[in-house]
Amino acid sequence: MKRTAFFFLIFLTFYTSTLYYSTGQLFFSLAEILLAVGMWALSLYFRRHVKAEAVEKSIVGEQGRDLCWSFRLDYTGRLPFRHFRLPLRFRYRQESRQKRKTLSGILENKDGRVSCYIRTPYCGMLYLETNRILVYDYLGLFPGKIPFSHTVTATVLPPPQILTIEFLSPEWSGITSGQERPFSCSADDPHEIRRLREYRAGDSCRHIHWNQSARTDKLWIKEFEKERDVSISLLLDISGSQWQNPKYMDAFYRLLYAMTLGMLRKIPVVKIYWYTGQQSRPTERIVTDESQCQDILLALYRLDFMETAGSSLSAPAIPEEIGSRCFQLDTNLAWRLENHLIYQFSAENLSQEITDQVFQL
Amino acid sequence: MRNISFHLSSEPENPQKRRKGSLTVLLCLTAGVCAILQILCAAVDIYKEAWIFCPTALAVCATIWYIWFYQRNLFPLTVALGTVISGAAAFVLRETLCSQVRQFTEYISTQTVADQPSPPVTETALLLIFPLSMLLFCLELLLKNHILLYLFTTTLYLFAPFCWVGFSFGTTMLLLFFQITFWVLQWSGGIRLPKKKDNTKPPAVYGHTCAKFTAGFLLLCIIAGLVLTGRYSRQFFTLGDAMEGFFHRTASLLSGQDGRLVTGGKISNGNQYPTGTGHLELSLSRQPTETLYLRGFSGGEYIGGDWTAADDAEILSRAAKALGRQEQSSITEAFYQNMYYSMNRYTQHPNAPQPFSLTIRHLNGSYEQEYVPYYSRRNDDDSAADDGYGYSFFEQKDMDIRRELLSPNAEQAGEWYRSLQQAYLSEIQTVYTQVPAERIPRLTSLAAKHPLESLPEISTFIHALLCQNAVYTSSPGVTPLNWDIAEYFLYVRHCGYCQHFALTATLLYRLYGIPARYATGYQVQASAFTLQEDGCWQAVVTDRNAHAWVEIFLEDYGWTPVEATPAADGSSAASYPGFDHQVYQQLLAHWEWSGEPSSSKEAPILPIQNPAAAFSAFWDDLRSNQKLWRSLWLYPLCVLLPALVLVGCNRLWQLKKTESMNCRRVYARLVEMLHFGGLLLSYDGSEKNFAKLLSAELPQLPPEDILRMCHIVCEAAYGPENPSKEKEMLVKSVYRQASKAVYERLNRPRKLLFRYWKAFL
């Protein structure tokens, strides 16, 4: 547009100069034509002397904060080089259509390191692609194309919000202590010694309490308490029609993240299940801390749409091995316990709901 | 829906190094203000006033630039002060300003008033400097919008020739410098100002380098442009004409305008680009010997570039009334139409040539306009024909009306012919000698300066004037809006085509009291006719045959065409009964003709001969302008005086600020002063041995005072309470002693900087 306007005005000046035989205008237009030729030569010069080099292929960041992707522009010329443009194509993993955006930049330093700051409104997996960088002359009239084929995967994680869940019902007493626990606590020793008894024939040598036996000159056997299940299960229904909508999937990921962190404050282990494709058995992941929760999100981000599309559109059945006390969360943000709706979250007010709501179960 | 936002950034090499106001910015700003002022001044041809505009613009721009970059907190005050001063000046001079603006507008719109002095607009232009500088400053530096100013200045420059405003090369260079350098500064991020609370923005060092490089390259382009303009301007203009011709012809062919017949009396104010499309097909009964003029239009009144159609019916009605036959005005008109043909036909010798029979066929099929040969009669039998119409006519050489040869029974017709001719001639003496003198003051003045009476003299004068001051060309360029075409043709361009020659000749004939009309139609050379199989002579008339000429009224001939356009060799092609070329030459020799208009005072500003000559003329003008050279000393004065005042104010302000500082700030300033003086460069004042080292560097200062000062500052920084007033005074006292000691150690230039720029002392 700028180039068109510039040349149109030059043409108009030249044309007017010939209409009125105005040498002043002829001189003006000739000087500008010569300048334009010089700028064209300058863009060729820059094209020869600028090379682009990628620094990183993947970046991870938090939603709402800048993700920084860096690359280098190595310039070997002697004339000062300033302006360049980076045409980008980008899409979320769920989206089929790429969007385009051209970024303008000015090279301020000689080491050539350029940072591209990306702030995404949704969490998920974002793919950025570029195939060239355009370097410009000082008037920005002529772009010189520099090949720069590069793809960057930007993983955008949800912000750390925690859903407040209180397990008050007596049915949860077996698995919760009622005390808030840090996420780092894990079930180090689920086999607690109930009592010691004297040795009976047939007892395993492995269960002899050697210290007590040495002190009393009798063989004592450790009798263990029966192993308890101290985990909670969450079945994800990712078969919904919202899978292609980054806005809804963003809400789903944020809610899952907040819910899992909220559960981990009360329960040492959260088991997360989901079905993909035509699998008869669900995928199982055990989460005991925040980093494992992020791993789950990464695994979900990487799920192919085709895989989820093949799964049943109706809510998946709770597998037998999970047991009866199983939470469910679907992409419509409905949170259920044994198919009974606990709460229907909304994508618009999710942050407020997560912050304000206290769920007493 | 929310979108992903992107932002590209490369970290600056040295974020601490902040570049403030650049001289490039100041020069660009001044160039822009001066260029716009020069364009406005060029409109009223007051280049010589530049001696006062340019230094004033430089002073105003420098003040704004300095205040903005170095004394930002004084900027609102400066703007307010400037506005108040400008407003007060405008109020005091309001009547002068109104008068100047009115005169300026009149001058621009009516360029045609000859020898009109340039309106005095100096006060207005001077008052424009401050708002113009502020406008440019706000757009370029605050809003960082160059495109608006680029478009505005280019449009101003582009449309100036429409009002016949020519520029000096200096104006063009200033404009180029302003447009291109600011463009580069904006595009390369050269103009970056730190926000009040944001010190993270990078410096604009490379942007200025780019701008300087481009300015240097632009200078080369300007030199090359000057050389090209000087050497090859003719070729470039020819190229432009060829381009316009191509577009014009293509547009005519595509829109079908090429087949439109010549009608009306509008004078073209541009170039002529015939396409060669056939308009008429003529068929003659025998081979012609003279050029055939087919008149389609005769001009009555001239209204600035346009002729109204001659109203012969009205004139004949008045003539009939004068003859006492007002009830027979329609018969009179019908009689008059064929009068000269009929009289010639009835008074011929028996062996005189027979009239020609002409059939005219319009190739576009439209017969709304008819083309009439001179000394003719329309053949009534062709009146209803859609396939052309016919005329019988005599060639000019065959016209020989001898009333004595009329048969006795036609005596009454002969008498009627004589009286009608006299009455008509009497009427046209007032109608066809009218000219709008106010529109053509130069031509009116020219006729008044050369009083002539006889038709041969007048014809000789007019045709010699045209031949010696103008040449034929189909591409004379466009006439500016505020010029009359005839005067621009004769006094400025000195070239044109038939319409311009005929227009000027008609106006001059009328100015000398000779009834004359501007006529348009087709001119067909005798050689254009070719013999056909059926024995007739045929010619195809194209738009290349479209022509304009002058008609003058001659007794026994009526309206007679006079060729005003010179022949191919530049000589006069005028020929009418009674015009003698020998007399023409004799008169020229007698007058010692000098071709007055071309050497008149109204020399063209937009040069047509040689641009290099124009440049040298500009340079000569500059050199001869003693006033300008004498006033050159004003330039540094205008910059120095405000600069000195600003520096003085700055020093006083800084010293006052230092007096009101607390001891920690005074200590920081002391360290800054030491660094400026090249002392303890690697120390920042927090070192344990700083007092000891300072005592060693400045032995004039008591070491215990220095030590105490350091203690006081430490106490101020880390102690529970602020130091007492006495302690603050001690720190300031040490600072003053130190500043004197450092000052003594500096060389003269650094002393000046130390005292007046940094204001340490």
Using CB atoms within 10 A of its CB, is residue A95 exposed (0-12), middle (13-18) or buried (19+)? middle
**CB contact residues (below 8 A), chain A span 133-152, against chain B:** 136, 138-140
Least confident of B539-553, B566-580, B675-689: B566-580
Q: CB B158 to CB A25 under 8 A? A: yes
A213–chain B Cβ distance below 8 A for any pair: no
At B604 the pLDDT is 37
Quick one: tokens of B32? 């822009």
- Whether the pLDDT of residue B9 is over 80: the answer is no
At A310 the pLDDT is 47
What are the pLDDT digits (tens) for A136-161?
888 888 998 988 888 888 888 888 88
Residue B619 CB coordination number (10 Å): 11
Least confident of A235-239, B479-483, B568-572: B568-572
**CB contact residues (below 8 A), chain B span 12-51, against chain A:** 12-13
What are the pLDDT digits (tens) for B35-67?
888 877 776 655 556 667 788 888 899 998 888
Q: CB B207 to CB A82 under 8 A? A: yes
Chain B residues whose CB is inside 8 A of the A97 CB are: none
Mutate to test the interface with B, among A7, A11, A27, A126 (most CBs of B within 10 A): A27
Q: CB A9 to CB B158 under 8 A? A: yes
A70–chain B Cβ distance below 8 A for any pair: no
Nearest beta carbon to residue A31 from set B5, B211, B222: B222
DSSP-derived secondary structure letter, B645: H
Q: How far apart are the first and last CA of chain A?
A: 62
Q: Are strands A358-360 and A164-166 parallel, antiparallel or unpaired?
A: parallel
Selection from B511, B532, B373, B376 nearest residue B432 by Cα: B511
At A187 the pLDDT is 38
Our measurement of the distance from residue A151's CA atom to the centroid of its chain's CA atoms, rounded to an integer in Å, reads 16
In DSSP terms, which residues pair with A104 in a beta bridge? A85
Task: Tell me the percentage of chain B whose pLDDT exceeds 70.
Answer: 84
Chain B residues whose CB is inside 8 A of the A21 CB are: 237, 477, 493, 606-608
Selection from B210, B218, B185, B47 nearest residue B125 by Cα: B47
What are the pLDDT digits (tens) for B76-109?
888 898 889 888 888 888 887 888 778 777 776 6
Q: How many residues does chain A have?
A: 361
Selection from B221, B211, B176, B175 nearest residue B190 by Cα: B211
Question: Distance, in angstroms, between A156 CA and closest chain B CA?
Answer: 12
Question: Distance, in angstroms, between B200 CA and closest chain A CA?
Answer: 13
Which CA distances in Å does B518 have to B269, B306, B394, B550, B552?
A: 16, 10, 22, 5, 9
At A190 the pLDDT is 44
**CB contact residues (below 8 A), chain B span 609-668, against chain A:** 611, 614
- Whether the pLDDT of residue B15 is over 70: the answer is no
Q: CB A26 to CB B611 under 8 A? A: yes
Residues 6+ apart with CB under 8 A from B697: B674, B679, B680
The residue type found at B688 is K
B2–chain A Cβ distance below 8 A for any pair: yes
- Whether the pLDDT of residue B159 is over 50: the answer is yes
User: What is the pTM for the complete model shown?
Assistant: 0.68
Q: Which residue of chain B has the CA closest to A102?
A: B6
Least confident of A12-16, A79-83, A243-247: A243-247
Mutate to test the interface with B, among A8, A19, A247 (most CBs of B within 10 A): A19
B244–chain A Cβ distance below 8 A for any pair: yes
Task: Tell me the percentage of chain B whose pLDDT exceeds 90.
Answer: 7
ipTM over the 0.85 cut-off: no
> What is the three-class DSSP state of B112?
coil
Q: CB B614 to CB A23 under 8 A? A: yes
* A207/B456 Cα distance (integer angstroms): 147
Return the number of CB contacts < 8 Å for A and B: 200
DSSP-derived secondary structure letter, B161: G
Chain A residues whose CB is inside 8 A of the B494 CB are: none
3-state secondary structure B670-694: HHHHHHHCCCCCCCCCCCCCHHHHH
Quick one: tokens of B481? 């809006």
Please provide the average confidence, as pLDDT, over all residues in chain A.
79
Question: Distance, in angstroms, between A106 CA and closest chain B CA?
Answer: 7
Question: Distance, in angstroms, between B188 CA and closest chain A CA?
Answer: 6
> Which residue do the tokens 């007892």 mark?
A203
* B340/B346 Cα distance (integer angstroms): 10
Question: Distance, in angstroms, between B237 CA and closest chain A CA?
Answer: 5
Using CB atoms within 10 A of its CB, is residue A169 exposed (0-12), middle (13-18) or buried (19+)? exposed
3-state secondary structure B291-313: CEEEEEEEEEEECCCEEEECCHH
Handedness of CA A192, A198, A201, A205 (dihedral sign): positive
What are the pLDDT digits (tens) for B703-749?
888 888 888 888 888 877 788 888 888 898 899 889 988 998 888 88
Q: CB A18 to CB B236 under 8 A? A: yes
* B114/B74 Cα distance (integer angstroms): 51
At B518 the pLDDT is 93
B200–chain A Cβ distance below 8 A for any pair: no
How confident is the model over A279-307, as a mean pLDDT? 77
Q: CB A31 to CB B224 under 8 A? A: yes
In DSSP terms, which residues pair with B560 in a beta bridge? B552
B202–chain A Cβ distance below 8 A for any pair: yes
- Whether the pLDDT of residue A229 is over 60: the answer is no
The DSSP line for A208-276 is B-HHHHHHHTS-EEEEEPPP---EEEEEEE--SGGGG-HHHHHHHHHHHHHHHHHHHTT-SEEEEEE--
What are the pLDDT digits (tens) for B459-494?
888 888 888 888 888 888 888 887 888 888 888 888
Q: CB A18 to CB B176 under 8 A? A: no
Please provide the average confidence, as pLDDT, over all residues in chain B.
80
* B700/B711 Cα distance (integer angstroms): 20
* B57/B128 Cα distance (integer angstroms): 10
What are the pLDDT digits (tens) for B635-657?
666 667 777 888 888 888 888 88
| pLDDT grade for A51, boundaries at 50, 70 and 90 | confident
Nearest beta carbon to residue A34 from set B188, B224, B608: B224
Q: Which residue of chain B has the CA closest to A26?
A: B229
Q: CB B168 to CB A24 under 8 A? A: yes
**CB contact residues (below 8 A), chain A span 39-68, against chain B:** 66
- Whether the pLDDT of residue B611 is over 50: the answer is no
> What is the three-class DSSP state of A61?
strand
How confident is the model over A246-253, as a mean pLDDT? 82
- Whether the pLDDT of residue A228 is over 60: the answer is no
At B223 the pLDDT is 87
Are the CB atoms for B174 and B38 separated by under 8 Å? yes
Least confident of A51-60, B200-209, B554-563: B200-209
Residue A123: φ, ψ to 5°: -90, 160
Q: Which residue of chain B has the CA closest to A72?
A: B10
A103–chain B Cβ distance below 8 A for any pair: yes
Chain B residues whose CB is inside 8 A of the A14 CB are: 236, 240
How confident is the model over A11-17, as a mean pLDDT? 89
| Residue A286: HSE in the Cβ half-sphere, 13 Å Cα cutoff | 9
Q: Which residue of chain B has the CA closest to A108?
A: B12
Are the CB atoms for A359 and A343 separated by under 8 Å? yes
Quick one: tokens of B525? 């050379």
Question: Distance, in angstroms, between A88 CA and closest chain B CA?
Answer: 10
Nearest beta carbon to residue B5 from set A79, A112, A119: A119
Residue A215 CB coordination number (10 Å): 10
- Whether the pLDDT of residue A36 is over 90: the answer is yes
Q: CB B176 to CB A31 under 8 A? A: yes
B270–chain A Cβ distance below 8 A for any pair: yes
The DSSP line for B362-379 is ETTS--SS--EESSEEE-
